Chains A and B, each alone.
Chain A
């Protein structure tokens, strides 16, 4: 049995080649002006898989996530979600596709003028014709799943960091999406709360068989939840493999990232001096 096909940390049967590809990225290239942010990214995520995208600041992981969410158009290449090339879809088709996706943003992105309950209900109110009672039952069910029962009448400003993340997860899964994207789900949380968020991600996969893409730079979280890890550096994929293989990767920059070793650039003393005295000495 391949490592990728063994049961995951939640006992869930991991993805394998027999399951459908849910996310396919081919030859993705993105420029911000002259600067190339992503360079020839290729990856496939299969149904039920948890893929963790890791990388340092400026590695391009947020840009890649924005492409997967359809918030950016690539300079070159394609992004297919559930078999649809998202950059060729009409607005109406994209809206339909987005109903099958959920996103938990880094800061929660809860609407501050609405209660937690109304935040979670918003996708249902906008996209379904269910009656209010049914929607409220669904909302309470999802709040139970994320351990946030009883908080529906609170305003986002009254929540702790961990509760905000949980509310964001509840909103992200209210429509029972096939794909869940999480941007830095445990960033800024203490280790115990971060660990509970990791468990929540695994529980959501186990309960709803979702395909989950997590962008994070938290090593512990990544190792705890991932089926596979994609390590980005300077806009390129350094390694895309199972957790064990990534941990044993011979690539020094992968080890630097996993072991929190800062990259120490070699310093040219003359160039350093010239940089400091620019415009003063010539």
Chain B
């Protein structure tokens, strides 16, 4: 009797093929989801299915305001860390005073959007995946449909909109706190007043740097929301499936954020 090898090159190729098809299918689904979410945002009112401002506000509170304490701690820590590392490195060349340039550019262009994106992916992207996954297995999404509520309008558009508003806002907050954290360290280490420190920060950075960071955070917001929903909607297999989807959504979102960050930097600096 002929047997099929489970570990041969053909099986490996088959697995690779399946994974590729699944990935393309998920990207397609994510694109259609994004399109449908925007459709309801723009046309929902005319289709008797308006996106409720109260739902967006509720999501904005959870995604944005509730994340402020931990984001503040992390941003301040990163500011201090950058200042310490910068002073230590520049001391080799006797150029410690130039640490402000490094802090200004790396915080506004890289660290603040990245840490905000990763934090929101871990807190809110995973919560979104878990919520939608649980609703799927408990037939709550079917219930929405039979009540006559478009699930994407009700479940996806509010968090997407809230992320688009709150992630850049959190990024701006992270920039300010990280700069302040770095400033406190610099003022202690280099006998530089905070006023002078911020004056130099403003001299060393431009509006372009700020827009670079905020632009990236806007893309991260869309990625986190869409990846959370796609993973939640794909849940099968009960509570264990919800757990898997939650983990998968965090891993995918963080990977997407880091890769997008690289592409963004590459394109911005062309």
Q: Which residues of A contact B (CB under 8 A)?
A: 69-71, 91-92, 94-96, 98-99, 101, 103, 105-107, 109-113, 122-123, 126-127, 171, 181, 279, 282
Contacts and interface: CB of A to CB of B under 8 A. Distances in A.
Contacts of A101: 146
B47 interface: yes
Contacts of A122: 147, 149
B204 to A, nearest CB: 46
A109 B139 contact: yes
A171 B139 CA distance: 14
Contacts of A279: 3
Given A112-B134, A282-B1, A98 B147 contact: yes
11 contacts: A69-B142, A71-B146, A91-B150, A95-B48, A95-B49, A96-B148, A98-B148, A109-B140, A126-B49, A126-B147, A181-B146
B149 A109 contact: no
A278 to B, nearest CB: 10
Contacts of B3: 279
Interface in B36-59: 47-49
Contacts of B131: 113
A106 B147 contact: no
A113 B131 CA distance: 9
A98 B139 contact: no
Contact of B143 (A91, A96, A103, A113): A103
Q: List the 5 closest pairs (A to B, CB-CB), nearest first.
A: A98-B148, A109-B143, A109-B139, A95-B148, A103-B146
Nearest to A282: B1
Nearest to B139: A109
Contact of B138 (A95, A103, A109): A109
A91 B149 CA distance: 10
